[in-house]
Structures are given as structure tokens and as C-alpha cells.
Amino acid sequence: MSELPRIDAILLTHAHADHLSFRSLRALPRGIPIYAPPAVAQWLRRDGISAVHSVEAGEEIRIRHVSVTAGTARHIGARYGIDRWRGAAHMYLIDDGRTSVLFTGDTAITPDALSLVSKILPRRLDVALLPIGFAPRWKEYFFRRGHLTAADALSLFEQLNARVLIPFHWGTFQHVTSSAFDAIEILRSLLMSYGKASQVKILPPGATFSVTDRAV
């Protein structure tokens, strides 16, 4: 934790274990504001994590000089099969009036992402943080109802007209039906014939990217 920079806020998208770690939150310095869908925020407070704020889809909050607007992701975010009341999944548009970032969490392709980004028009979205995943053929139809494949991420990137795509959700753990690197290997193969490959920044987990360094 000592290697982390100062954290101004934490944006939680949904309750799945790979997006919400109680142990990680408790290891951070106390008092960092956490923003989450209402049912998730209530769960965290009940579990003793107090610096939590509920955010509804469509609501805008201010974190110092930055505006953060929550939108609806196309994803069922309930932690367990029996807690569908905790199923809301957010995406967040982060904007300081000059630079903008869309962080989708988990989502499938959805017009809600475009609606959210339309808030900053006529400016262009600077960075799209989009998840990439892999599913075998027998699972792909259902997988794509709540997730992006590598090809889907490129498609949504085009629709968003963002300057930079940073793919995430790869390289961290093995799934039952996929390895940690299946999705990124497919994306790399697609980039070989993709006209905007230079705008896709593949960062290994833990790496950083400075938006002010963009040259696209």
C-alpha cells in the first residue's frame, strides 16, 4: 500500500468479488470516500466501512475539481445468485472540464455509454477504460449479454470516438473457462489489422498512463 499515490476517492462499479474486495478496502487509509450503487453502499456500511456514499445512476458528484457522473452498465452485478437486489452496476464519466475518462467497470455494448459521454459534447472523450473478456463458443452468447469481448471493446471504442482505449480485466486471474491472457492475446491479434492500433494502449496490471502525454 505504501507504493500507492494519494487516493482522493474510490469508485465502485458493482458487487462482484473481482471488483469489490473488502480486504483491500480495509487495508487502505481510513476516511477515503467510496462511491457505490446504493445497495452496495448499504452493504459496505453494514459491514463497518463507513466512508461510503450512495450514487444513483444519472447522479453527478464532485470530487474536488472533478465531476463524476454515474451511468448504468449493462451487467448484473449481484455478488451471489440470490442477491439480485444488489445487482446494479455503474459506469462512471470522470471530467474536469478539460480532460475526460470513461470507466465502465463490467458492461456489454450499451447505448447508455454513448449517452453518458454525450454530456461533454462537443469535446471528445479522452480515454475509454473498457474491459475485455474471453468466453468459449458455447458460452459466448450469454457472456456478451453482460461483458465485452476484445472485438466488442474495439466496436464500443469506435462508437465512443475516444482518443485512447485502455483495455482492462485481463492478466490478473485464471477463470474456469479462460486463462488470464486469452482476451489480451485476441486483442493483440485484432490490432494487427486495426487502423487505430496506435490509439490502443495495452498497460500491464499496475502500469500507469498520463492523459496529458496523449499524441493522437
pLDDT for 188 equals 98
Average pLDDT rounded to a whole number, residues 188-215: 88
Residue range 44-85, pLDDT digits in tens: 999 999 999 999 999 999 999 999 999 999 999 999 988 998
Mean pLDDT of the chain: 94
Question: CA-to-CA distance for 41 and 118, rounded, in angstroms?
Answer: 27
Contact indicator for 116, 60 with CB cutoff of 8 Å: no
User: Which residue did the predictor score with more confidence, 215 or 114?
Assistant: 114
Q: Are 100 and 120 in contact (CB under 8 A)?
A: yes
pLDDT-based confidence at residue 125 (cuts at 50, 70, 90)? very high
Determine the Cα–Cα distance for residues 131 and 149; give it in Å rounded to an integer. 8
Q: Is it the case that residue 207 has pLDDT exceeding 80?
A: yes
Distance CA(19)–CA(114), nearest Å, equals 23
Query: Any residues with CB less than 8 A from the CB of 109 and at least 6 apart, and which?
Result: 74, 148, 152, 155, 156, 159
- Domains of the chain and any CATH numbers: 57-203 (3.60.15.10)
Q: What are the pLDDT digits (tens) for 145-160?
A: 999 999 999 999 999 9
User: 81 Cβ partners below 8 Å, 6+ apart?
Assistant: none
Q: What ranges make up the beta strands (E) of 57-211?
A: 60-63, 66-72, 90-95, 100-103, 127-131, 164-168
What does the pLDDT read at residue 211? 82
Q: What is the pLDDT confidence band of residue 1, given thresholds at 50, 70 and 90?
A: low
Query: What cell was used for 37?
Result: 450503487
- Please tell me the predicted confidence (pLDDT) of residue 174: 82
Q: What percent of the chain has pLDDT over 70?
A: 97
At residue 41, what are phi and psi to the nearest 5 degrees?
-60, -40
Here the cell at position 91 is: 459506469
**pLDDT tens digits, residue range 21-48?**
999 999 999 999 999 999 999 999 999 9
How far apart (Å, rounded) are the C-alpha atoms in residues 66 and 121?
Answer: 17
pLDDT at 216 over 60: no
CA 147 → CA 109, 131, 133, 168, 210, distances in Å? 8, 8, 7, 12, 26
The predicted model gives 173-184 an average pLDDT of 88
Question: What's the pLDDT band for 175 if we cut at 50, 70, 90?
Answer: confident
